[in-house]
Structure 1
Amino acid sequence: MLRSMYSGISGMKNFQTKLDVIGNNIANVNTYGYKKGRVTFQDLMNQTVSGASRATDNRGGQNAKQVGLGSSLSSIDTIQTQGSLQTTGRSLDVAISGDGYFVVRQGNNEMYTRAGNFYLDSNGNLVTGQGNLVQGYPVDAAGVVNKSGTADIKIDTNTTMAPQATSVATYNGNLKSSAPNNTQVELETKVKDSLGQDISLKIVMEKTGLNQWEATVSSLTPGVTVNETTTISFDNAGKVQSPASGYVPFAITINNSTGANPTQDIDLDFSKITQFDSSSSANVDTVDGNSEGYLESFNIGSSGEVNGVFSNGEVRVLSQLSLATFSNPGGLTKAGNNLFQASNNSGLPNQGVAGEGRGALQSGSLEMSNVDLSEEFTEMITAQRGFQANTRIITTSDEILQELVNLKR
């Protein structure tokens, strides 16, 4: 009888713990990035009344006789299933679709979170709602992401982009193969000098023979001198054959009164132009170089790149968010404030960018809690009935003890 009372007590304690976990899940049903908990039980030790015996020639074997002594907690799991994504339209809200955690710095400690509601502080640092610094990969002057180590993401709203002279202009489209000789196709290209000023170049492509076109480059901008001619040859498949690389280098001379560099080398890339028997459609594809620009806005792409949009129309990568994955994400320890920290059983963080074995990012959205209220209420009912059943064990054992006491009157 005493054993049954203590078994009932252990069951009550366990179901109380389960109700505590369920209550915490329900309390966080609208917490961004929250991962619900789950309680599992296991039986406690068993008291062996008699051991098992094996069969003999004259008698069969007998199983052991054991009396269980209650139950105990087996685990309190963190369920890492994906929460639904809610569209917010806010540029600094980012949701992870798939595996991975945002990396943040709390003092000297590295923490992890699925809640992507970020903010900018007075210094331009990207932070969480509690002021933890979001970590990412820095970008050099050429726009190349350096993945050797993470750093605080800082977005300086006073960032400017220096002017850059054009070095390459690329063309695509088609030149009609059956066009008669002396047929001309004119293209106008705007390039930038070292001060970011526009220079208009005129390219006249004239058919001079079978599979041959002559390209003449001249300037439409006063003070700029250029007079270059080159021949472009095509093979029988309609691809550029000469020059072999498709690049045509030439130099322009700029009047020094403009203040820009007096000479500038530009490569014209005709490798994408074809010569098929269809209408001529040659045009400008891309031209590098830019004028001076000021940061107007920024956004976060699906790979975590923080893109700055400048007043000159250019878009540059300012930084890239870092994501971490773990061999055992269920082993992460909840640290409060939507944060997780690594434990002895989670494994070391494997940091990188989104899309490289990690989930994709969706800007303007947040991941909701993965708590299912219908499931939680069902679990609450079963936990409540289990708790009641264990209390009934205790009261029943108490009544039997009372009967024993009453034997002596």
Structure 2
Amino acid sequence: MLKSLFSGVSGLQSHQVAMDVESNNIANVNTVGFKYSRANFSDLLAQTKAIATAPQGQLGGKNPVQVGLGSTVSSMTRIFSQGSIQNSDKNTDVAIQGDGFFIISPDGGNTYKYTRAGDFKFDAGGNFVDNNGFIAQGWLRDPVTGKVDSTAPIENINIAPGLTTPAQPTQEVVLKANLNSGAIVESFSPAYQVPTGAPTDPALPAIDGNGNPIESGNVGVMFNESGEAFSLQDGQGVWASFISSTSTSTNSAQGSDTALAADEAETIVFNLDPGSSPATATASYTILAANTAAQNASVTAAAINALTATTGITATIDSSNKIVLTNTNGNSSASHNIDIASVTGANNPFDASEDDTTAYKYSYNSASPTVVAGSNKEFTTIADLRQALENQANSEAGATGIKVIVNDQGKIELSNTDSGSIDLNFKVTGISGSGITENTRFTRNMEALNTVLAAGTTGKAFSQAFNAATHSSSIDIFDSLGSKHTLRMEFRKTALDTTTGSTWSIVITVPEPATIDTIAPTYEKKGSIRFNNDGSLATYNPPNVSFSGNNGSAPDQQVNLSFGTANKFDGMTSFDSRSATSGISQDGYTGGDLVGIRIDQSGTLVGSFSNGRSFGLAQIGMAKFTNNEGLSTEGGNVYVQTANSGDPIIGTAATAGRGFIQSAALEASNVDLSRALTQLIIIQRGFQANGKTITTSDQLLQTLIGLKQ
């Protein structure tokens, strides 16, 4: 009978403990990071009245006869389910979404405690602390490498008040851009200036807009004023003459009326375009002593005109029976020169000095282009073309004052300052024939020069502009003092190879007094960049520049130029699309003061500085345990390690099963009030029922005592 009393008492005690546990849960319904617990009941050792027996023969087995002795609370289970995440207005609040604990220390890292409550703040000393004043543990930024090393031992997170960052000199400039490889471009600049005398006179080289020597540029990859490519092929070009393309014979034709002694066989040999086959054309004819001068002039003209389809030269007769030769400059035959190689016959009215029109033919990569007077010309660069035109102009006109330059607008400029009586009659037509098609864009650019310039005048003739495809990008770089300097990179298309791809020149400049080179001018450095025929980067030079601010900052600052990876499309490219810079950056900055801190999902405390830079100052460490339920609570939302929790596995958030961190948020208690209140009813009913067993047992004892009475 007394057993039932003891059972009821143990039941009351167990339910009282459960009541305490559930009351604690409800009390912490608004405690940040709180994890609720439950009481686990178990029965007490039972009293065995009879043991179990096995079946024997025809007699079946019997179960044991046992009487329970009540209940007890055998354990408490803490439930580490995820609490809801609540946003806050405090950027140093952090919540863990997933498994893991923040690591805090009350003694500078000698001992560790653990918490899910992320209500952190900075104290007066810059320590990152919780509400207990315990300092959060993690990793700090290495001032040498500028990185946060999460493989190092954890330490107190401390960010000194009034933190400043020193200036970081630029070490790398990264450029990603496309340079238009198409036949039509929108970004172009005039060809560089080429003065008279260049390039044969070393004192007068081709010069850029700053007056600095530079390669004058391949005409084959240049563009007209509409941005359309000339795309010159070998052999294409123009015919050009500087004096009238009409030449009258030195003497009148002879005949019976001029006392011609006898019949004479006459020949005149014309030099043809060097690309023609045969290289010469011969007009053979006989003048008769019996003929009049007019008749013999007609015979001469007829013989010459029979070759017009080959030579492009026509002959007519003037009123004094002189032969007038005209260079048609047409495009129907292979040769267009009035270039008389030789004449025979005592009464031939011509001499071998006629040379009215000269071919100027493009050669993509001529090592030594022909630019001397008296022969067809070969040019690669616009400087070659300028020199050839000037040499031939003065040679044909017998002058010295005819000047040809390339001006600052990229136009070929023709002037006649000769003090004599030589009038300049310039005429251009395109070359075609013998498998060569006329390059109409180049011809049109040159045809603008067609004009008559009287000797000694101030008049000038101009071609249309010759332009190069260009693109430029600039960025501010920083020296060791944090001073800014503008680094400008100008790209100019200089060559094209149908097999390998295109080549662009690079001119890198900085404003004076800064320097980037040891060769004058020291404020600029030249190089080139080449692309494959699929538009990918092939190679570039220079890979870096040695920068000196010359303002008290550290000299010879090495700045790497990162234009991409060879044979890839991760940097500079050259496609048939508009030239444009899609990305440019550098890693330098001036000094700055800390103006704010935010925390990212990895737990990194990112500092924002007044210089516009942001970088990680520290990273919050996180611990994971094999058995979270084995942790012991110490109050104040703090847990400590026990023998049954396992050792902490320390690392960064969102790695190795650790949850990620959400900033400006807190994890709410995981207590479910509906569950807790329901549990209260269950506990209350259990407690009442156990009370009934005691009162009932008491009544039975009263009855038993009443038997004696």
* TM bin (shorter chain): over 0.9
Whole-angstrom distance in 1 between the partners of 2:650 and 2:548: 49
Whole-angstrom distance in 2 between the partners of 1:47 and 1:284: 84
For 2:508, which of 198, 217, 226 is the aligned residue? Answer: 217
**SS of structure 2 residue aligned to 1:254:** coil
**Structure with the larger RCO, 1 or 2 (CA within 8 Å, 6+ apart):** 1
TM norm structure 1: 0.95
1:88 Cα offset (Å): 0.6
- Worse-matched range after superposition: 368-377 or 134-143: 134-143
User: CA 1:283 to 1:215, structure 2 compared with 1: closer, same or farther past 3 Å?
Assistant: farther
1:222 Cα offset (Å): 4.7
Where does residue 603 of structure 2 map in the other structure?
Answer: 304
Where does residue 319 of structure 1 map in the other structure?
Answer: 618
1:251-282, Cα deviation, whole Å (9 max, x unpaired): 23433xx2123332211111012223322222
Q: Does 1:238 align with 2:535?
A: yes
Whole-angstrom distance in 2 between the partners of 1:186 and 1:363: 42
Question: Structure 1 or 2: larger strand share?
Answer: 1
Q: Is the 8 A contact 1:302 1:363 kept in 2?
A: yes
Q: Is the 8 A contact 2:514 2:547 kept in 1?
A: no
Q: Is the 8 A contact 1:100 1:323 kept in 2?
A: yes
Amino acid across the alignment from 1:372:
D
Where does residue 484 of structure 2 map in the other structure?
Answer: 198
Where does residue 185 of structure 1 map in the other structure?
Answer: 471
1:179 Cα offset (Å): 4.7
TM norm structure 2: 0.56
Whole-angstrom distance in 2 between the partners of 1:404 and 1:119: 69
1:233 Cα offset (Å): 1.8
Question: Unpaired runs of 5+ in structure 1?
Answer: none
Amino acid across the alignment from 2:504:
W
Amino acid across the alignment from 2:160:
D
Whole-angstrom distance in 2 between the partners of 1:111 and 1:253: 52
Amino acid across the alignment from 1:34:
F
Where does residue 642 of structure 2 map in the other structure?
Answer: 343
Whole-angstrom distance in 1 between the partners of 2:512 and 2:682: 83
1:85 Cα offset (Å): 0.7
Q: Is the 8 A contact 2:96 2:662 kept in 1?
A: yes
**SS of structure 1 residue aligned to 2:5:** helix
Amino acid across the alignment from 1:248:
P
Where does residue 145 of structure 1 map in the other structure?
Answer: 148
Whole-angstrom distance in 2 between the partners of 1:87 and 1:179: 57
Question: Unpaired runs of 5+ in structure 2?
Answer: 185-220, 222-467, 516-521, 565-570
For 2:120, which of 110, 118, 121 is the aligned residue? Answer: 118
Whole-angstrom distance in 2 between the partners of 1:345 and 1:321: 25
Whole-angstrom distance in 1 between the partners of 2:705 and 2:633: 50
Whole-angstrom distance in 2 between the partners of 1:179 and 1:99: 61
Q: Does 1:403 align with 2:703?
A: yes
1:301-342, Cα deviation, whole Å (9 max, x unpaired): 111111111111111211111100000011000110110000
Q: Is the 8 A contact 2:94 2:664 kept in 1?
A: yes
Whole-angstrom distance in 2 between the partners of 1:394 and 1:118: 52
Amino acid across the alignment from 2:14:
N
Amino acid across the alignment from 1:82:
Q
Whole-angstrom distance in 1 between the partners of 2:561 and 2:695: 93
Where does residue 427 of structure 2 map in the other structure?
Answer: none
Whole-angstrom distance in 2 between the partners of 1:216 and 1:198: 20
Whole-angstrom distance in 1 between the partners of 2:14 and 2:542: 76
Q: Does 1:4 align with 2:295?
A: no
Whole-angstrom distance in 2 between the partners of 1:247 and 1:138: 38
Whole-angstrom distance in 1 between the partners of 2:510 and 2:583: 16
Summarize the alignment of residues 10-409 of structure 1 with structure 2, pairs less than 5 Å apart. 10-107=10-107, 108-141=110-143, 142-146=145-149, 147-179=151-183, 181=221, 182-208=468-494, 209=496, 210-224=501-515, 225-243=522-540, 248-255=543-550, 258-271=551-564, 272-357=571-656, 358-409=658-709
1:360-385, Cα deviation, whole Å (9 max, x unpaired): 11110000000000000010000000
Q: What RMSD over aligned residues (CA atoms) do the two structures have, in Å? A: 1.6
Where does residue 388 of structure 2 map in the other structure?
Answer: none
**SS of structure 2 residue aligned to 1:203:** strand
Whole-angstrom distance in 2 between the partners of 1:13 and 1:238: 84
In our comparison, the structure showing a higher alpha carbon Rg is: 2
Amino acid across the alignment from 1:190:
D
Whole-angstrom distance in 2 between the partners of 1:69 and 1:159: 68
Whole-angstrom distance in 2 between the partners of 1:365 and 1:262: 48
**SS of structure 2 residue aligned to 1:376:** helix
Whole-angstrom distance in 2 between the partners of 1:75 and 1:52: 30
Whole-angstrom distance in 2 between the partners of 1:221 and 1:116: 53
Whole-angstrom distance in 1 between the partners of 2:158 and 2:31: 26
1:394 Cα offset (Å): 0.7
Whole-angstrom distance in 2 between the partners of 1:265 and 1:22: 68
Q: Is the 8 A contact 1:42 1:74 kept in 2?
A: yes
Where does residue 206 of structure 2 map in the other structure?
Answer: none
User: CA 1:353 to 1:247, structure 2 compared with 1: closer, same or farther past 3 Å?
Assistant: farther
Q: Is the 8 A contact 1:273 1:282 kept in 2?
A: no
1:283 Cα offset (Å): 4.4
User: CA 1:291 to 1:14, structure 2 compared with 1: closer, same or farther past 3 Å?
Assistant: same
Where does residue 311 of structure 2 map in the other structure?
Answer: none
1:221 Cα offset (Å): 4.9
Q: Is the 8 A contact 1:85 1:95 kept in 2?
A: yes
Amino acid across the alignment from 2:555:
P
Amino acid across the alignment from 1:191:
I
- Worse-matched range after superposition: 284-293 or 332-341: 284-293
User: CA 1:215 to 1:391, structure 2 compared with 1: closer, same or farther past 3 Å?
Assistant: same
**SS of structure 2 residue aligned to 1:109:** coil
User: CA 1:223 to 1:50, structure 2 compared with 1: closer, same or farther past 3 Å?
Assistant: closer
Q: Is the 8 A contact 1:137 1:145 kept in 2?
A: yes
Whole-angstrom distance in 1 between the partners of 2:583 and 2:481: 22
Q: Is the 8 A contact 2:511 2:523 kept in 1?
A: no
